[in-house]
Amino acid sequence: MRRVVITGIGLVTPIGAGRENFWRNLTAGANGIGPVESFDTAAFPVHIGAEVKDFHSEGPRGRGSQLAIAAARMALDDSGIDIKARDRARVGVSMGTTSGEPNMVERYNDARKAGGLESIPADILPKYPCNVIPSNIAIEFDLRGPCLMIPTACAAGNYAIGYGFDMIRSGRTDLMLAGGADPFSRITYMGFARLGAIAPERCQPFDRNRKGMVPGEGAAVLVLEPLDDAVARGATIYAEVLGYGVSCDSHHMTAAHPQGDGAIRAMAMALKESGRGVADVDYISAHGTGTPTNDRVEAIAVRTLFGDRAPKVPMSSIKSMIGHTMGAASAIEAVACSLAIHTGVIPPTMNFEEPDEGSDLDYVPNQARKTDPKIILNNAYAFGGNNASLCLARLQ
Amino acid sequence: MMARVVVTGAGVISSIGAGVDEFEKNLYAGCSGVGPSQLLGDGVVAAEVRNFNPQQWLGNKGIRVLDRSARLLCVAAQMALTATGLQQQDTSEGDPNLGLVCGTMFGSVHSITSFDWSGVTDGPTYVNPMEFPNTVINSPAGQAAIKHKLRGVNSTISAGLVSGLYAIHYAAEFLRFGRATALLAGGVEELSEEAQVSFGKVGVLSARGCLRPFGADRDGTVLGEGSALWMLETAESAEARGAKALLEISGFGAAHDAHDIQAYRVRGEGATSAIQQALAAAEIGPEQIGCVIACASGSRTGDEMELHALKNVFGARLEQLPVCAPKAAFGEALGASGALCALTAGLALSKRSIPPIAMLSAAKDVQGDYALVNCFGCDGNNAALVLKGLS
């Protein structure tokens, strides 16, 4: 089977768009969280979010599609591939999302409230089903291969990158645009606010006084191609995809399994498929949303799988800076992992002041660190008990 | 050599019946599920799962929190698990190598819209937190995993009208890569006011409420609903546990037209390519296809596109080839359609004849061991699946 590498990166995040901009800000500990501007939060108990402030949605496509297309364009540019010169029947799109184009449902309800069903414009709901996001990418860049959305909620980005990896590995395609996208959504915000899961001021993953997650938005797209093709064209190779693992807690729709059963199995499956063991892992990109339970369970899972080595493996959550970008999160985190491998620097967990009682894990507090990681696990967990871990490595 | 993937059982709930036996009986009797909708009222015509009573299969426990999509999916899963002897005991933890891959288009759109509506009308602090989990698109699959103790991969696939076939392909790939030993794969779609409004406003629904695939007088489609799931296993693991393999997943092809988000590319380049790729993956030629289960849904342009693609692939043989369009029976069930059509293809192979519904020619008897299933979406996404009968 063919080896698969990442040779292009494009993203739009609350701390900036584009590979260089994002990485500079991420390693500097930038903050993308602030007062919500997309809608009025006066009736909500919380008011902060992680929005992409400098991205204005215009034109007929939904914001999810627009974020995704922008990320895809940057990724293709970054890869140096002349897509028009390619056999585009061999180029596919694989995206992940939590909510797709939820703003279309919001517009539908706003129109319905204002003027009843008859007043609803015809073009709103057809743009809702989440497959429009990868299809819009295919249309924008004239890509003729397989094209799908994997809406496995907040672990979706890893699932989508995994599918892209499978498609190239098995020889079904020669190039994949894979990632995730989610626009800022009133529905998502309302739900997490009602659950009491949103932090009032800042996001503090793994800190003893953490108070919750912060909903965000964004998109990331990675260009995946066979190693041989990348070498032949002299491409910059950011990282190799070694394998991934997925599992289901089969326990509760919103609460993680208390012992981290599914999280452990996903990490173990990713390592097994990659032909690596816990002793090989140099860094873990945590799901780390900042909610009391999720972070506790993730720490338990890592402690259980890594045993005595757990405190020696740095693990950070970039959600402390960019919030929880939902289905885009693990794709953006896969970008961070790729750039950590490429540059030798791992991003910090910001706002970290005090560890949980008895915790001895290394959360890379508040400062990026030069560690030269070679093998990385990227963790993602989701509603529905979905878990996905992706294993990335420096090319050997 | 990649592992072979086989079908060892199925579950289905649709407007023409619950369970494979009833579905088969009504399909081959030429029945149609299209009629007045109880759910949507207001004169809406749809292929609805009427008098749906999930308790009949699932009992009362934990039913209340499940929305319609989750209920339909859980019922189909229950049937497929029971049919294959893979249902997990109440006392067991559940098999970590048993999972679910579910295709859907609109997902739980009614749950999502209702949740937002209560926020818009009552205020954001009055939404029901119990209903929030149903607003994620993968909630039916997650609920089914909890209900049936499915601890392996749990993926939801959205590729519009092509979702069901993509889900089968995705699950087959997972089995080939050795990440699971048995996977439920197929699709679910519920009838909803939102999908009805969406398709109605853009004018693709039949004004007469009459679904006539390939018909000269066709004027649009009629929405349907339901769930169909196959149990897929590697041939090796099916044999090891003594499960009878009914069908083999021989080949899958996918091609995007990259043309328009809401219009078919009528000449059918992508559809043709998807079929040709599926044949190539199965390592057979078009002459070995014994029957075709068409995607045709009564759409003027969509059905025309499919005819172009079939002519491109089969040439003059198309006039003698058994082709039927079973959506005439179970409606355009969106994300579940591909799975319902695939199930139909499996029945056709085992009965050696296609259902007597919306046939393209007089040919009815299956002419070989392989069936082709078409699935083409108006967003330009095209997929095709080749199946081999093993019985």
What string of DSSP letters covers A363-379?
--BSS-EE---SEEEEE
Flag whether pLDDT at B391 surpasses 90: no
Give the bridge partners for B189, in sequence order.
B226
A324 is catalytic: yes
Chain B: give the shortest CA distance to residue A395, in Å: 22
- Assess B389–A contact: CB distance below 8 Å, yes or no: no
* B108–A contact, CB cutoff 8 A: no
CA B9 to chain centroid: 15
Radius of gyration of the CA atoms of chain B, in A: 20
B155: nearest CB among A112, A159, A170: A159
Q: At what angle do helices A156-169 and A329-343 cross, to 10 degrees?
A: 60
pLDDT tier, B209 (very low <50, low <70, confident <90, very high otherwise): very high
Q: Residue with structure tokens 């093709």?
A: A229
Any alpha helices (H) in A209-315, and if so which ranges? 227-232, 261-273, 292-306
Residue B380 · residue B258 · CB < 8 Å: yes
pLDDT in tens, A293-345: 999 999 999 999 999 999 999 999 999 999 999 999 999 999 999 999 999 99
Q: Chain B: nearest CA to A45, how far in angstroms?
A: 8
What pLDDT digit, counting tens, does each position of A31-82 carry? 999 999 999 999 999 999 999 998 988 889 999 999 999 999 999 999 999 9
Mention every residue, 6+ apart, whose C-beta is less than 8 A from residue A234. Answer: none
Distance CA B183, CA B229 (A): 9
Tally Cβ neighbours within 10 Å of residue B234.
22
What is the pLDDT at residue A183? 98
Does 3.60.150.10 match the CATH number of domain B251-389? no
Residues A9-32, mean pLDDT to the nearest whole number: 98
Across the interface, of B146, B160, B194, the residue whose CB is closest to A125 is B194
Specify the domain boundaries for CATH 3.40.47.10 within chain B: 5-240, 251-389
Tell me the mean pLDDT in the region B106-113. Answer: 95
Confidence check: pLDDT of B150 > 70? yes
Mean pLDDT of B89-94: 88
Phi, psi dihedrals of residue B198, rounded to the nearest 5°: -60, -50
Question: Best interface-test mutation with B: which of A248, A259, A383 has the largest number of B CBs within 10 A?
Answer: A248
**Residue type at B159 in one-letter notation:** A
Alpha-carbon gap, residue A105 to B184, rounded angstroms: 30
Which helix (H) or strand (E) covers residue A108, if one does? helix A102-115
pLDDT tens-digit map of B2-61 = 799 999 999 999 999 999 999 999 999 999 999 999 999 989 999 999 999 999 999 998
Rounded Cα–Cα distance for residues A238 and A227 (Å): 11
The values of phi and psi at residue B67, to 5°, are -85, 180
Q: Measured between CA atoms, how close is A312 to chain B, in angstroms?
A: 29
Bridge-partner residues for B42, per DSSP?
none
Nearest-neighbour CA in chain B from A121: distance (Å): 8
Q: Is residue B301 within 8 Å of B131, Cβ to Cβ?
A: no
CB B297 within 8 A of CB B305: no
Reported ipTM: the value is 0.97
pLDDT of residue A59: 87
- Asked whether the beta carbons of B81 and B243 are under 8 A apart, the reply is no
Query: What HEC string does chain B produce?
Result: CCCCEEEEEEEEEECCEECHHHHHHHHHCCCCCEEECCCCCCCCEEECCCCCCCHHHHCCCCCCCCCHHHHHHHHHHHHHHHHHCCCCCCCCCCCCCEEEEEECCCCCHHHHHHHHHHHHHHCHHHCCHHHHHHHCCCHHHHHHHHHHCCCCCEEEEEECECHHHHHHHHHHHHHHCCCCCEEEEEEEECCCHHHHHHHHHCCCECCCCCCCCCCCCCCCECEECEEEEEEEEEHHHHHHCCCCCCEEEEEEEEEECCCCCCCCCCCCHHHHHHHHHHHHHHCCCHHHEEEEECCCCCCHHHHHHHHHHHHHHHHHHHHHCCEECCHHHHCECHHHHHHHHHHHHHHHHHHCECCCCCECCCCCECCCCEEEEEEECCCCEEEEEEEEECC
Query: Is the pLDDT confidence value at A21 over 70?
Result: yes
Average pLDDT on B101-112 reads: 96
In 3D space, the residue among A376, A348, A362 whose CA is nearest the CA of residue A26 turns out to be A348
Q: Compute CA distances A5 → A41, A170, A226, B376, whole Å.
A: 42, 14, 6, 31
Nearest CA in chain B to A139: B258
Q: How far is CA B12 from CA A282, A284, B61, in A?
A: 47, 42, 21
Confirm or reject contact between B41 and chain A (CB < 8 A): no
Q: How far apart are CA A324 and CA B77, in angstroms?
A: 32
CA distance B186 to B202: 27
Query: Contact, B222 vs B205, CB < 8 A?
Result: yes
CB atoms within 10 A of CB B92: 9
Summarize pLDDT for A137-166 with one digit per residue, the tens: 999 999 999 999 999 999 999 999 999 999
Q: How confident is the model at residue A393 (pLDDT cuts 50, 70, 90)?
A: very high
Residues 227-256 on B with a CB inside 8 Å of A are: 254-256
Q: Is residue A68 within 8 Å of A181, Cβ to Cβ?
A: yes
> Cβ contacts (< 8 Å) between B106 and chain A: which residues?
128-129
Residue B198 has pLDDT above 90, yes or no: yes
Confidence of residue B1 (pLDDT cuts 50, 70, 90): low
Q: Quote the mean pLDDT of chain B.
A: 96
**Cα(B294)–Cα(A6) distance, rounded to whole angstroms?**
38
A307 in contact with chain B, both atoms CB, cutoff 8 A: no
Q: How many residues does chain B have?
A: 391
Tell me the pairing of strands B98-103 and A369-370. unpaired
Q: Which of A147, A203, A257, A287 is catalytic?
A: A287
The reply to whether residue B146 touches residue A128, judged by beta carbons under 8 angstroms, is no
| Dihedral sign computed on CA atoms, order A131, A137, A141, A147 | negative
Q: Which two tokens stand for residue B222?
A: 């009629």
- Residue A196: its pLDDT value, please? 96
Residue B65, both tokens: 């929190």
Which residues numbered 185-214 in A keep a CB inside 8 Å of some CB on B? Answer: 186-195
Angstrom distances, CA of residue B110 to CA of B30, B128, B131, B190:
31, 15, 11, 9
- Which secondary structure element, helix H or strand E, spans residue A242, and what is its range? strand A239-248
Q: What's the CATH class of domain B5-240?
A: alpha beta
Residues recorded for chain A: 396
Cβ-in-10-Å burial (0-12, 13-18, 19+) of B203 comes to: exposed
CB contact under 8 A, B261 and A247: no
